[in-house]
């Protein structure tokens, strides 16, 4: 396992650029995974989709770990793995529920408040001190998220608004728990290899969710197998990229790049689900891109 910088360490310019690119690629992978989960959510329950997500992740994680043969966590580190796996399980359960209730771009809009919580948790837990440029990037990105959400919040009497509000609440819970996942990941990256983290965080939720799935399982269609394999590949790729990114630069510095996922959500929402982007969503994407440009320019 190669050494990684401690919290607050400054990466060299090339590593910094690669870490930002990895965070952006992770955002694209995760939105692609969200699209597959939304497709599966039309036919199966939220718990089953979450179980399948971790099971497909394990399908890729186990061979990768066997290839690399990195050490399993030391006894003191298991509590951090249990914490991260538990937070990730809650984050995905609430997130996949939100995807069933909301259009893709809207769910992502709420979910992408996570970088704000990441920056705040990083300050508290990791003792990071974001610069004013990072705060500016976060503020512009948060404004973009607010623009994306405004039409829904101003139309609470419309048909189906109650379900959408529950969906937004679930996405908010997911954002908070995912922020915890990322901050714990940075702590773990200083002690365990990437392949070990990937293995444990997929296998532990599979074991936990296997219990309720004994009663909740719904028979699956053979035509869904390619979607499942794609889900696992995108989830694995995204987790590898984001874990690598947050282990090489400060969590608060890479967090705003995740806002680019909202752009991917608008594109995939239109291409896969026929969701036509509105002026609000396009304005939101522009603000989010501006926030990321502020970060990269600095």
Domain boundaries, the chain: 13-297
Share of the chain above pLDDT 70, in %: 83
Judge contact between 241 and 29, C-beta under 8 A: yes
Per-residue b or e along 246-276, where b marks 16 or more CB atoms closer than 10 Å to that residue's CB: bbbbbbbbbbbbbbbbbbbbbbbbeeeeebe
Residue 86, pLDDT score: 93
The number of residues in the chain equals 298
DSSP type of residue 74: P
CB-CB neighbours of 127 under 10 Å: 10
Residue 134, pLDDT score: 74
Say which residue, 79 or 283, is predicted with more confidence.
Answer: 79
Judge contact between 45 and 216, C-beta under 8 A: yes
What's the Rg (C-alpha) of the chain? 18
Give 4's pLDDT tier (boundaries 50, 70, 90). Answer: very low
pLDDT reading at 278 higher than 60: yes
pLDDT reading at 41 higher than 90: yes
Report d(CA 12, CA 208) in Å as an integer: 40
Residue 296, pLDDT score: 58
pLDDT reading at 161 higher than 50: yes
The 3-class secondary structure across 137-206, one letter per residue, is HHHHHHHHHHHHHHHHHCCCCCCCHHHHHHHHHHHHHHHHHHHHHHHHHHHHCCCCCHHHHHHHHHHHHH
Say which residue, 268 or 256, is predicted with more confidence.
Answer: 268
Residue 9, pLDDT score: 47
pLDDT tens-place string over residues 107-123: 887 777 776 676 666 66
Say which residue, 132 or 9, is predicted with more confidence.
Answer: 132
pLDDT tens-place string over residues 184-193: 876 776 778 8
Average pLDDT over residues 129-158: 73
Least confident of 18-27, 204-213, 222-231: 18-27
Phi, psi of 84 (to 5 degrees): -65, -40
Residues 6+ apart with CB under 8 A from 125: 183, 187
Residue 19, pLDDT score: 87
pLDDT tens-place string over residues 17-40: 888 889 889 989 999 999 999 999
Residue 11, pLDDT score: 56
Chain centre to alpha carbon of residue 258: 9
Judge contact between 133 and 294, C-beta under 8 A: yes
Give 181's pLDDT tier (boundaries 50, 70, 90). Answer: confident
Q: Which residue, 10, 13, 30, is CA-closest to 243?
A: 30
H helix intervals, the chain: 13-41, 46-68, 78-101, 104-111, 114-125, 132-153, 161-188, 194-216, 225-246, 251-254, 261-273, 279-297
Arithmetic mean of pLDDT over the chain: 82
Least confident of 17-21, 156-160, 267-271: 156-160
Report d(CA 288, CA 266) in Å as an integer: 12
Report d(CA 99, CA 101) in Å as an integer: 5
Give 60's pLDDT tier (boundaries 50, 70, 90). Answer: very high
Judge contact between 254 and 20, C-beta under 8 A: yes
């Amino acid at each position: 396992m190669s050494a990684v910088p401690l919290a607050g360490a400054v990466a060299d310019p090339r590593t910094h650029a690669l870490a930002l690119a990895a965070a952006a690629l992770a955002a694209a992978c995760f939105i692609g995974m969200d699209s597959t989960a939304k497709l599966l959510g039309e036919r199966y329950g939220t718990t089953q989709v979450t179980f399948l997500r971790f099971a497909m992740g394990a399908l890729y994680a186990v061979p990768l770990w066997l290839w690399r043969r990195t050490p399993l966590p030391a006894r003191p580190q298991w509590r951090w793995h249990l914490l991260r796996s538990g937070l990730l399980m809650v984050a995905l359960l609430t997130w996949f529920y939100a995807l069933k209730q909301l259009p893709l771009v809207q769910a992502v809009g709420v979910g992408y408040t996570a970088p704000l919580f990441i920056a705040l948790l990083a300050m508290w837990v990791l003792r990071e001190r974001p610069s004013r440029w990072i705060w500016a990037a976060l503020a512009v990105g948060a404004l973009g998220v607010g623009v994306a959400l405004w039409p829904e919040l101003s139309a609470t009497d419309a048909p189906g608004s109650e379900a959408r509000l529950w969906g937004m609440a679930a996405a908010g819970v997911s954002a908070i728990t995912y922020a915890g996942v990322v901050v714990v990941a940075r702590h773990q990256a200083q002690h365990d290899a990437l392949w070990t983290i990937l293995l444990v965080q997929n296998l532990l939720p599979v074991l936990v969710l296997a219990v309720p799935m004994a009663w909740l399982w719904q028979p699956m269609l053979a035509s869904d197998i390619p979607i499942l394999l794609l889900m696992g590949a995108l989830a694995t790729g995204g987790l590898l990229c984001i874990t690598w990114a947050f282990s090489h630069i400060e969590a608060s510095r890479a967090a705003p790049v995740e806002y680019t996922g909202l752009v991917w959500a608008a594109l995939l929402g239109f291409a896969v689900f026929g969701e036509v982007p509105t002026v609000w969503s396009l304005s939101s994407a522009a603000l989010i891109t501006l926030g990321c440009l502020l970060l990269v320019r600095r």
